[in-house]
Chains A and B, each alone.
Chain A
Amino acid sequence: MAQVSIKDNEVDVVIGVLHADMTSFMEEWRPVFSRFHLIIIKDPDLKDELRIPEGFNLHVYTKSDIERVVRPSSASLLLSGYSCRYFGYLVSQKKYIISIDDDCIPARDSDGNLVDVVTQHVTNLTTPATPFFFNTLYDPYRKGADFVRGYPFSLRSGVTCALSCGLWLNLADYDAPTQALKPGQRNSRYVDAVLTVPAKVMMPVSGINIGFDREMVGPALLPALRLAREGNLRWETVEDIWCGMCLKVVCDHLRLGVKSGLPYVWRKERGDAIESLQKEWEGVKLMEEVVPFFQSVRLSRAAVTAEDCVVEIAEAVKQRLGPLDPVFARAAQAMVDWVKLWKVVRTQSPPSVA
């Protein structure tokens, strides 16, 4: 199908920074990132000064910016660690956001070429998704592919894709128990596919490598589920998994699509899974309640925007999950606060930050 031309000024690359020395990260990504505007959010808990090489078009936001903008001020506490990136989503004014963890570098495809993560995410987001019927040749809009025999013609125009979930070579996004059991396992399989995750199907959205349409679903990416002993390793968080499931429900309800597959990033070695095991398995336990909830939550016809959907989900979380664990009640409140904050920041344009 048509080649996509990326309008560079429609994209923000948002990086939540947990490691002060960004030199090697930025140099590795220079070939891909130098065209785009970057929003760098420094984890408020990070004490050291950021070191960022020259030659990029970027804005850096720090703890003081977060505290100035975010209301209620208790909500700013949620924007630490990996969740600091949500501040970037809040203040961005671009249509598309690409967000990568700061311990990832570009991957190479099977031909040895550097994977341009931004172009691939934007391609995924600017070609339709096909959530209502599975295409066995994967994304029919990719060059050299199409819909197969038996695919209903009325479904071939697809729907807007709002979320693009990329994957990871080397250190895949496993949980701590899995990685601890298989300490040597590294993902070396480059699967050359993008596919739409069908409607009504739940999935674990990893925040490590994503792209989304901020105009369509921005408010639904939110910091809400914070574990008691959340840490600075992905093994010690589920905030992205939570927000991803909210997002899938929102997309299914609004008839938007979610794609998964390319692009890959190369995720560097970091942390010790066994050490992370010693922390509570809180996240793993919570998933058992969270998944059935999201599989069954239904939104009303009155919910026609992402904000409406988030508010309804929050209410359902409060009613059905709140009684099970206080972390859910807090998550529900955080979701409601975030939507309010999103509206406030939107009406102050440009947002009042440095």
Chain B
Amino acid sequence: MILAILVFNNHGKPRLVRFYQHFPEEIQQQIVRETFHLVLKRDDNICNFLESGSLIGGSDYKLIYRHYATLYFVFCVDSSESELGILDLIQVFVETLDKCFENVCELDLIFHMDKVHFILQEVVMGGMVLETNMNEIVAQMEAQNRLEKSEGGLSAAPARAVSAVKNINLPEIPRNINIGDLNIKVPNLSQFV
């Protein structure tokens, strides 16, 4: 079982904290700090597993981490999880974030904290691995995302319907809308909500 998933940056600032077992708030903070110090002093060329700190429960639990640019992704797991399996799960999680955010960076994790949590919920649920297929996770997120768009854009629908009709016979128009365009359109949409 996964006990906790912690993401913090190179300075130890937490970017995602998710506990699957209850710890009092202040202990959670201490765990984040302790984990950060445990992980920080490790070179990049030594292995990605270590015993978890005393606060979580010592040697029965392991910290499995990966370091990506400015962020550390740390999974705290008990002995029922496979180290390499978790290592790849972290990879899946990060790759999924990357897909969902398009070149994910630390800022995405800060400004879309809720979204990161939602993505995580599709990967790990209640401390158990729910889904490891990246495409499925992304599909789930896209489905939820569509929901968001549609809720946000109900009143904008007529305008879109018009453009839909216009574009129906033009195969060269891209099916998805590029970000550049979106940035212009979306503020208008939100006014209608």
Decide if A and B are genuine partners: no
